[in-house]
Amino acid sequence: MTSTLRKLRFQAKRISSIRAPLIWLQHRGLDPGDVFLASYPRSGQYWLRFQLIEALTSQSGEFDSVDKLIPKIGAHAGAPALLPGGRRLIQTHETYRKEYKKAIYLVRDVRDVVLSEFLQARERNFPSTSATLTSTC
């Protein structure tokens, strides 16, 4: 994905008139037994999903399989049941919603999150973010 397309996608997610219908679409097909793995971005969710896959399936977690076994919200339609009772694990970065009856919330030290976000923004060449953070440090 080009950096221009990433920037547009990033900005479109922030526009509330576009965001509300997108979130509604992503949350269709949820089951009351689904368990949500929620966190603030850059808090180590991939690492936790790798660990959960290995613990729940006795398989090695791989980047190709992690999104299939514990999918992101909106891609959960064909997710396998990894938990007892036929329940699925679904990854989200959304704030609390009434559909989230059971959730695991991953919390990382805010200093690590800020540094990780800064490095990612600089890597993706978001000049406004990098310039702002660099000038204030």
Maximum pairwise Cα distance, the chain = 52
- Do 54 and 74 share a domain, yes or no? yes
78: Cβ–Cβ under 8 A, 6 or more apart, which residues? 71
121, part of any domain: yes
Q: Is the pLDDT of residue 117 over 90?
A: no
Count CB atoms within 10 A of the CB of residue 70: 26
Q: Is the pLDDT of residue 6 over 80?
A: no
CA distance 108 to 91: 16
Residue 114 structural domain: 109-137
Q: Is the pLDDT of residue 39 over 70?
A: yes
- Do 128 and 63 share a domain, yes or no? no
CATH code of the domain containing 88: 3.40.50.300
Tens of pLDDT, residue by residue over 87-101, are 999 999 888 888 888
Instruction: Considering only residues 110 and 125, tell me which one the structure prediction assigns the higher pLDDT.
Output: 110
| Averaged confidence pLDDT in the chain | 82
